[in-house]
Chains A and B, each alone.
Chain A
Amino acid sequence: MNKILEINNLAVSFKTFFGEVEAVRDISFYVGKQETVAIVGESGCGKSVTANSIMQLLPMPPAYFKAGEIKFDGENLITKTEKEMQKVRGNRISMIFQDPMTSLNPTMKIGQQIIEGLINHQGLSREEAKKRAIEALELVSVPQPEKRIEQYPHEFSGGMRQRVMIALAMVSNPQLLIADEPTTALDVTVQAQILDLMKDIQEKLGMSIILITHDLGVVADMSDRVVVMYAGQIVEQGLTDEIFKNTSHPYTKKLLASVPSLDMNKDEALLSIDGTPPDLYIPPKGCAFYDRCDYAMKICKDHMPQFTEHSSTHISRCWLNHPMSKDAKGSEV
């Protein structure tokens, strides 16, 4: 498998008034060519920090790389200078965000924003850049692109703006697209269109996607593999089918059980997880899910669980996988 992106033992912390906040604690995963990897988790789990770390968009200070490497196409991005990163951003790795209104410059015409990137990164002439911009808008199904190139962001609807964001991100043929909750703010019918569009473009350009979301339905629809994060760590990762059908970690199980789906029986109870995720200002010594886990054992409190391999692609981090836990009480999960 050709790995476009490889993250090894990444740790990112923030210096705050209270002390160090360990936003990301030792995570490792990879993204292959033309693969879509979904990073799932709830607020504070570190998924956005991870995404922004890849692009080095975190304000440093107060953030800093505590450990690990981010290898993109073989090179470690963490060691790159700001100038070098500018050549990567918007060019080989692109990012789209949740709220297109704040990511687009409201005082600049749409066309201008696309053209700028092309001239800077690819050294195209204005003429060529304009042509490519129109092509990009066509690619994302914006009707009448020659006309709309001259318009401002506020003249577009939410869904259209997100398409423009995607066009902006696509125009340089990036190898990797990081999409941070791209459809969360959109209506569900528009979301369906945008997801289809992303799949379409991925095929056409052979691009890899990191999809950050908390919507498990979107995950089931779009992703090849899933990384589940909790409290700054990866608790489970594997192929999408494995995660949904062969769920291992108690958190993942609870997450799946707490989402109502259209095909479930109405009388089934919706399982919720009591309490809230731990504050990463004093991260727990042992398993971060201990407080909220129904199967917590004594060892879970003080000792960080190890990863267990369920298949060559599926791993999870839980003491329940340890051979001794099945002996102790036969408490098969």
Chain B
Amino acid sequence: MQEPLISVKNLRKFFNVGNGNKLKAVDGISFDIFHGETFGLVGESGCGKSTAGRTLTRLYDATEGEVIFNGKNIFNLSRHDMADVRKNLQMIFQDPYASLNPRMTVADIVAEPLEIHRVYKSEKEKNARVVELLELVGLNEEHAMRFPHEFSGGQRQRVGIARALALNPKFIVCDEPISALDVSIQAQVVNLLKELQDKLGLTYLFIAHDLSMVRYISDRVGVMYLGHMMELAESEELYDNPLHPYTKALLSAIPIPNPDIQRNKKRIMLDGDVPSPINPKEGCRFVDRCSYAIDKCRQVTPIFQEQEPGHYAACHRIGEI
């Protein structure tokens, strides 16, 4: 069994939202990410996937739990050691309009990680590396002196990717990197990410709410709901054979760009909206919207466990539904 690159154990991240209320964004998730794979993390708003991604790179400190990288728990590292680890754990953000400083040129933006960690002694070497990175993502030298607002969304996202690659990281968390982009540009960016993964041997955590895209790019997929992991499996397996009621409903809600299939689709409709992760109750988080809920579901939180080889789910009624 391969040693995982990153191991998440019982990760919890809570926020205090005043009056003693706790927002339990991530409430106990555990999974491994292996070298060279793309791990997709999906869920709807409030499920905690973005928080999970940020806690994984220690942009937030965990309330509880561990993230093991290179044999050490990153939350126990000193500032100095963490800065070193940071070179290997990079991030790409969702909003290409907000994640680039509007006052900096593209060259400055891509060079920033190199400057922070003082990688190059000479200006010339640094600039050469910047051009190299720009070309890696399909831009070129003449773009270097321009400002973010002069580029389209897709191009800006590519600048963000170039920046994330500057320090030769092993692992990149992609936090909804394509949600804000046009459809045909999404494909561009996703194809670029795949290409870079092959070229540079990268490992990705791909956080998104677009399930079709996640299925396409990921090797394994985890489904989150209200801070809990509901199901995890290889991507084909998850989409062909979903075990958890939430996953089933989620998959059936996605409109397919094919009129014949879409019109004849049997849809599982969920009532109501996604509830809030503030002060959640005991029991299964999905119980209020689940059509298979029984009393046990309200009282006991189901354990996230292996139901079939490589296929995990947290539900009391697997196999009955």
Of A158, A245, A269, A276, the residue contacting B154 (CB under 8 A) is A276
Q: Can you list 26 A-B pairs, Cβ within 8 angstroms, ordered by A?
A: A158-B45, A188-B253, A188-B254, A191-B255, A196-B269, A214-B183, A216-B183, A217-B257, A219-B257, A244-B258, A255-B183, A255-B184, A256-B257, A258-B186, A259-B187, A260-B213, A261-B257, A261-B258, A262-B215, A266-B215, A270-B187, A272-B190, A274-B188, A276-B155, A276-B185, A277-B152
Convert A41-72 into 0s and 1s, putting 1 for each residue whose CB lies closer than 8 angstroms to a CB of B.
01100000000000000000000000000000
In the docked arrangement, what's the CA distance between A159 and B153, Å? Answer: 27
Q: Is B20 an interface residue (CB 8 A)?
A: no
Q: Which of B100-108, B166-174, B259-267, B294-302 contacts A (4 or more CB under 8 A)?
A: B259-267
Of A42, A157, A188, A244, the residue contacting B250 (CB under 8 A) is A188
In the docked arrangement, what's the CA distance between A260 and B214, Å? Answer: 9
Are A244 and B257 in contact, with the CB atoms below 8 A? yes
Q: How close is A261's CB to chain B, nearest CB, in angstroms?
A: 5
Query: Which residue of chain B is the closest to A277 with respect to CB atoms?
Result: B152
Q: Is B239 an interface residue (CB 8 A)?
A: yes
Q: Is A187 an interface residue (CB 8 A)?
A: yes
Q: How close is A311's CB to chain B, nearest CB, in angstroms?
A: 16
- In this complex, how many residues of chain B approach chain A with their Cβ under 8 Å: the count is 42
Are A192 and B269 in contact, with the CB atoms below 8 A? yes
Q: Is B200 an interface residue (CB 8 A)?
A: no
In the docked arrangement, what's the CA distance between A261 and B265, Å? Answer: 14
Of B45, B154, B257, B267, the residue contacting A259 (CB under 8 A) is B257
In the docked arrangement, what's the CA distance between A133 and B259, Å? Answer: 35
Contacting residues, chain B, for A221 (C-beta < 8 A): 255, 262-263
Contacting residues, chain B, for A276 (C-beta < 8 A): 152, 154-155, 185
Q: Is A282 an interface residue (CB 8 A)?
A: no
Q: Is A21 an interface residue (CB 8 A)?
A: no
In the docked arrangement, what's the CA distance between A195 and B265, Å? Answer: 14
Are B216 and A266 in contact, with the CB atoms below 8 A? yes
Convert A201-225 into 0s and 1s, putting 1 for each residue whose CB lies closer than 8 angstroms to a CB of B.
0000000000000111111110000
Q: Is A331 an interface residue (CB 8 A)?
A: no
Are B183 and A244 in contact, with the CB atoms below 8 A? no
Are B212 and A189 in contact, with the CB atoms below 8 A? no
Contacting residues, chain A, for B261 (C-beta < 8 A): 220, 263
Name the interface residues of B115-144: CB closer than 8 Å to any CB of A: none
Contacting residues, chain A, for B155 (C-beta < 8 A): 276
Contacting residues, chain A, for B235 (C-beta < 8 A): 266
Contacting residues, chain B, for A187 (C-beta < 8 A): 44-45, 209, 273-274
Q: How close is B37's CB to chain A, nearest CB, in angstroms?
A: 14
Interface centre among A188, A189, A277 (most CB of B within 10 A): A189
What 3 A-B pairs are tightest by C-beta distance, nearest first? A217-B255, A272-B187, A216-B257
Q: A187-B209, A196-B269, A270-B216 are in contact. Are A215 and B184 (CB under 8 A)?
A: no
Contacting residues, chain B, for A188 (C-beta < 8 A): 44, 209, 211, 250, 253-254
CB < 8 Å A-B pair total: 131
Name the interface residues of A263-286: CB closer than 8 Å to any CB of B: 263-264, 266, 269-274, 276-277
Are A159 and B273 in contact, with the CB atoms below 8 A? yes
Contacting residues, chain B, for A92 (C-beta < 8 A): none
Query: Which residue of chain A is the closest to B192 with respect to CB atoms?
Result: A272
Query: Which residue of chain A is the closest to B275 with respect to CB atoms?
Result: A157
Are B269 and A193 in contact, with the CB atoms below 8 A? yes
Name the interface residues of B174-206: CB closer than 8 Å to any CB of A: 182-188, 190-191
Interface centre among A195, A260, A271 (most CB of B within 10 A): A260
In the docked arrangement, what's the CA distance between A188 and B209, Å? Answer: 8
In the docked arrangement, what's the CA distance between A256 and B184, Å? Answer: 9
Q: A187-B45, A217-B257, A270-B216 are in contact. Are A259 and B183 (CB under 8 A)?
A: yes
Q: How close is A192's CB to chain B, nearest CB, in angstroms?
A: 4
In the docked arrangement, what's the CA distance between A92 and B290, Å? Answer: 40
Interface centre among B182, B235, B250, B263 (most CB of A within 10 A): B182
Contacting residues, chain B, for A261 (C-beta < 8 A): 212, 256-258
Q: Is B318 an interface residue (CB 8 A)?
A: no
Q: Is B251 an interface residue (CB 8 A)?
A: yes
In the docked arrangement, what's the CA distance between A192 and B274, Å? Answer: 13
Of A159, A195, A220, the residue contacting B257 (CB under 8 A) is A220
Contacting residues, chain B, for A196 (C-beta < 8 A): 269
Contacting residues, chain A, for B255 (C-beta < 8 A): 191-192, 195, 215, 217-218, 220-221
Of B153, B184, B257, the residue contacting A254 (CB under 8 A) is B184
Contacting residues, chain A, for B249 (C-beta < 8 A): 189
Q: Is B236 an interface residue (CB 8 A)?
A: yes
Are A189 and B258 in contact, with the CB atoms below 8 A? no
Contacting residues, chain B, for A260 (C-beta < 8 A): 187, 212-213, 215-216
Q: Is B303 an interface residue (CB 8 A)?
A: no
Contacting residues, chain A, for B154 (C-beta < 8 A): 276
Query: Which residue of chain B is the closest to A195 with respect to CB atoms?
Result: B255
Q: Is B77 an interface residue (CB 8 A)?
A: no
Query: Which residue of chain A is the closest to B179 with respect to CB atoms?
Result: A184
Name the interface residues of B215-231: CB closer than 8 Å to any CB of A: 215-216
Query: Which residue of chain B is the closest to A241 with respect to CB atoms?
Result: B259
Convert A171-211 into 0s and 1s, putting 1 for each residue whose CB lies closer than 8 angstroms to a CB of B.
00000000000000001111111011000000000000000
Are B188 and A273 in contact, with the CB atoms below 8 A? yes
Q: Is B270 an interface residue (CB 8 A)?
A: yes
Q: Is A240 an interface residue (CB 8 A)?
A: yes
In the docked arrangement, what's the CA distance between A218 and B259, Å? Answer: 10
